[in-house]
Structure formats: C-alpha cells, structure tokens
Chain A
Amino acid sequence: MVKEKFIPLGPYHPLLEEPEFFKLYVEEETIIDAELRIGYNHRGIEKMGESKTFDQVPFLVERICGICSTSHPLAFVLAVEDLAQIQVPERAQYIRTIMAEMERIHSHLLWVGLAGHFLGYNTVFMWAWKAREPLLDTCELMTGNRNHYAMMKIGGVRRDFQPQKLETLKEVLSEIEKFTTMITHAVIDDPVFHARTKGVGVLTKQDAIEMGVVGPVARASGLAIDVRKNQPYAAYDRITWNVITQESGCVFAKAAVRLLEIIESIKIIRQCIKNIPKGEIEIEVREIPAGEGIGLAEAPRGEVFHYVRSNGSNYPERLKIRAPSYMNIASFKRTVIGEKIADAALITAAVDPCYCCTERMGVINKQTNQVMLDGSELVRLSQLKTEEVRKKLKCT
C-alpha cells in the first residue's frame, strides 16, 4: 500500500504581496490533493491603514510588495480619487503609466529568469537578470530608489521626470527589447521547453472563470481581462497597445503571455515618452470627504483592488486590499492535481506567486514527519526531468 505523503509548499517571503502555504498530498509521483493556508506573514496592513492619514497610506501599501511598489499605491490613490472625484493633471497620468510599465517589465523579466532556473536553463536565468539590472538602475535614476519609488500621491505624483532621464530609459528599453525578442524566439524554437511546459498545469477557461483569476494567468486561459483596457486609468486609453491572450492555459501559454507583454510594455512606454505633455504633476487636495471609492490597477500579476471608506476624517475608516495572487493562488488546486511532483515547482512558478516559497518546498513522510526532499532537491528533480526530456529528444 502506498503511504500517504504530503509536500508542504511555503510559507511566504516578506518580499511578496501575500503569504501562502500549500500542502500537496501525493501518491507515488502524482499529486492527488492540495490544501492552502495563508497568513504566515500577515502584517495587518488593512488594520494599520486605519491608523494612518490618507497621505501616509501610499507609503504603507507600497510596502505590501517589493515588486508591485507602484501598483498598490496607484490603486490606493485611484480609490481615493474615485471617492473624492479628483481630476489628476495630464502629465501625472503619463508618469504613472511609465512607472507602472517599468514595474511590469522588471517583474516579468524576473519571472523569465526564475522559470529558466526551474527548468535547468541557468543561462536564461543569468541573462534575464542581467537584462533586468539596467532597468532597476534606471528606476533609481528616475525616482531615487530601485524599489519603493514613493511616486504616487493623491492628486498626482511626487516627482517629475526630466527629459534626459527619459532618454536614458529609451536606451535601456532598446536593449531589453533585443533581449526579449531573442529569448522569445529561443523559447518558441526549443523542443525541450515545449516538452516540459506544453499541456502541463492546464487551467481551463471554465476553471479560470470560476476561480476568478486575473492577470497573465487569466489571459493565458483565454480570458481577455486587463484593467488597463477594461477600466483605463492613468494614460492607458490614449495609447495603442494590445492585450496578449493565449487559449491553452498551460505553463507554456503563461510564459508566452508574459514574454509578449514585455514587448507591449515597451511600446506603451515609448508612446508615453513621445506624447507626455508639459504641465503640473499634482493638484492640491485639501480634504477627503465622507464616502467610498474603489481603485483598480493592473499589476504585473493582475488586477490590484483597493476599497476605501472614509467618514470625513483624516483617516480611512476601512481599507480593503486584494492583491492579484489572492485569486491566482486559488487556481493552483485546479492545475496541480494529477500532475507529477517534478512539475509542481514549475506549475507554481507559472502562476508567479512567489519563488522564495518554492525554494522552501519539501516532501515529508507523514508518518515520521521527516523531510525526504527539500526545496533544492525539488528544483533538482525538475532540472533532471528537463535533462531526460532533452536526451529523449536527442538534442544536446
């Protein structure tokens, strides 16, 4: 008889927007069930928000996630601007757009690198992160920080972009475009990559609808939802760009969506740089009236949702935050059951919830509670599988 075993997957890392812990029940090599527990890193940010003034909250929500440090404050200020019906100056709208797209590019590049690592393509990992580095430096050049930019404020942005800095950004983007095009072709032409990712961890369109997934995960399952198109904020409605979708919902589709989105983001930033108007970057906001507002922004991982209730004081009465991974992680239960342990790391990776947690994944014997396989062993298993597939396909 097969002993019942589970793989604990998690908990979370402080860098990411949400903590999570998966328990994967396995039979031999196959995953038969999955459970979720979150909260290992619950910092009570919603409650903390009630004790900060409206001007302080953007700094707080910026620290929800080290990657989405534009999306969260942006969603919050959009919520307050919706509440108080504030019109933001045009130049600020363009600056917000540029910032949000820079964030998307560096987040997707980070993902490309880590996906490469999980597959055993460490060259991809190093190349992608090499390409990402100049962009982070440009973020620092333009905002003063590689992360936590402190750019968003109610009524506009905190810092203007000088023309020469936008020129630097343009140069960096050309390099990233070259790299992304090269890597996209490499991925599309690689039979090993196809064998490891096509048809693996499929999220069907119906499952995607039922689980309410958002962002690249939804778009890879054929749902063309993107806040930037559906409810345009910042300057997205003044710009020509495409929503990238795929139909199959597998790991390959998710990779394709993210790679192609980098190219779209570059297109968006270029148009913003070309069309950015001169003028004010903020308007003065004296007080926030009583009422409620909802702010939506498309983070690299999908829709960020902020709900703000004000009672007319300086402090929000309630601040509700929903990061995209909250919906996307739930879809994991539908994608991972029936798959192999060697693919689990990759399927988690495809949702892009957090890599740090997969590092800590381990297989434990339920009877003895002894760690049989730890995170690095699971990554090794995944890399080994790639090696086998490569031999089978006779490519070296």
Chain B
Amino acid sequence: MNKEQLKEKIAGRYAGRCEILDHSPRRIYVTIDKKEARDVASFFFQELGARLSICTGLETSHNFEFLYHFSFDEIGLTVTVRAILGKANPEIESIKDIIPAAEWIEYENNELLGIDFIGNPRKRRFILAEDWPDGVYPLRKNGEEHNG
C-alpha cells in the first residue's frame, strides 16, 4: 500500500463524508463526523493495521477538536483524523475497546480538557491532584479565570 492507495481507501470508505487534506509528503489530515469515530478506529487499527500514536484534544475559538494520530510505520505516514465537537457539550464515543491504548489517552483528555468519552467514564483522578476542583479544565482557553 502506498500513500495514494491509502487516500483512495479512506475516500472510498467515507465517500462524501470526509475531507482529505494532503499537507506534506508524510502527513495527511482527514476530517470526519464525530459519529464515525468508532468506525475510524476499527478501520484504521484493525483493517489497515495502523498504530495509534496519540490523540490530541484542543479548544479553538469556535469549537473543540479531537484528533486521532495514526501512524502507518511501513509507509512512513502519519494520518490525523479530526472530529469536530460542539463547544457547549464536547463528547465523543470511546474507542478503548477497539484500541486498548486509548483508555488512558481518553482519561487524560477528559480530565484536562473536559471532553466526555461515552463508554469510558473516568472513575478517579488520573493526572490532576486529588484536591483539584471539579469542572475546571486547565487546558481550556478560559482556564486562566480560575487561577485566582
């Protein structure tokens, strides 16, 4: 499989429902609907044999984004799958039963950014201190106002 074939496979699976950006020789960005997240996980990890490098959660001025960075080591390619989440109630389905490595990644994003992962509720503190206030998420852009 080479880069072009991979792009075709992705475009075929999510025909009309994804946007593919060929950023540079080793980087592709794919934007999908967040409802496809679990399908993306099984398609990339189980069918295409990609490795989940890490996920990035981030807040922009309009919304939240959750990015899955998949690494195709054999062809030296990093494919980032982007799901856009709502500003008011950011949530997305968990993929931890499909990719076990995602369990802690989801805990981390839940705790630091307040994204809810349906099917992977965090039972206790994972990164922040035990006495950190509930509902305050340090990586959010309005985090500063809670610092005082």
Interface size, B (range):
35 or more
* B128 interface contact, C-beta 8 A: yes
Contact at A294–B101, with CB atoms within 8 Å? Answer: no
Given A305-B53, A307-B56, CB of A211 within 8 Å of CB of B100: yes
Give the residues from 11 to 35 in chain B that come closer than 8 angstroms, CB to CB, to chain A: 23-24, 26-27, 29
Nearest Cβ distance between residue A18 and chain B, in whole angstroms?
Answer: 10
Contact at A210–B58, with CB atoms within 8 Å? Answer: no
Q: Which residues does chain A contribute within 8 Å of B74, judged by CB atoms?
A: 230
- The CA-CA distance from A230 to B73 in the complex, in Å, is 5
Contact at B139–A38, with CB atoms within 8 Å? Answer: no
Q: Which residues does chain B contribute within 8 Å of A44, judged by CB atoms?
A: 138
Contact at A47–B138, with CB atoms within 8 Å? Answer: yes
Name the CB-closest residue of B to A39.
B127
* A318 interface contact, C-beta 8 A: yes
* B67 interface contact, C-beta 8 A: yes
Q: Which residues does chain B contribute within 8 Å of A212, judged by CB atoms?
A: 51-53, 99, 101
- The CA-CA distance from A231 to B79 in the complex, in Å, is 13
Name the CB-closest residue of A to B102.
A212
- The CA-CA distance from A42 to B54 in the complex, in Å, is 18
Name the CB-closest residue of B to A323.
B54
Contact at B127–A42, with CB atoms within 8 Å? Answer: yes
Q: Which residues does chain B contribute within 8 Å of A46, judged by CB atoms?
A: 139
* B129 interface contact, C-beta 8 A: yes
Given A47-B138, A309-B58, CB of A39 within 8 Å of CB of B128: yes
Contact at A318–B58, with CB atoms within 8 Å? Answer: yes
Name the CB-closest residue of B to A318.
B58
Contact at B60–A317, with CB atoms within 8 Å? Answer: yes
- The CA-CA distance from A26 to B29 in the complex, in Å, is 45
Nearest Cβ distance between residue B18 and chain A, in whole angstroms?
Answer: 17
Nearest Cβ distance between residue A389 and chain B, in whole angstroms?
Answer: 34
Q: Residues of A within 8 Å of B, CB-based: how many? A: 33
Q: Which residues does chain A contribute within 8 Å of B99, judged by CB atoms?
A: 210, 212
Given A39-B126, A39-B128, CB of A322 within 8 Å of CB of B53: yes
Given A47-B138, A294-B80, A296-B78, CB of A320 within 8 Å of CB of B127: no
* A326 interface contact, C-beta 8 A: yes
Q: Which residues does chain B contribute within 8 Å of A320, judged by CB atoms?
A: 54, 56, 58
B109-138 vs A, Cβ < 8 Å mask (1 yes, 0 no): 000000000000000111111000000001
Chain B residues within CB distance 8 Å of chain A: 23-24, 26-27, 29, 51-54, 56, 58, 60, 67, 69, 71, 73-74, 76-78, 80, 99-101, 103-104, 124-129, 138-139, 143
Chain A residues within CB distance 8 Å of chain B: 36-39, 42, 44, 46-47, 82, 85, 209-212, 225, 230-232, 292-294, 296, 303, 305, 307, 309, 317-318, 320, 322, 326-327, 330
Pairs A–B under 8 Å by Cβ, sample size 21: A37-B124, A38-B127, A39-B125, A39-B126, A39-B127, A42-B127, A44-B138, A47-B139, A47-B143, A85-B24, A211-B100, A225-B73, A231-B77, A292-B29, A294-B78, A303-B53, A307-B56, A318-B58, A320-B58, A326-B54, A327-B54
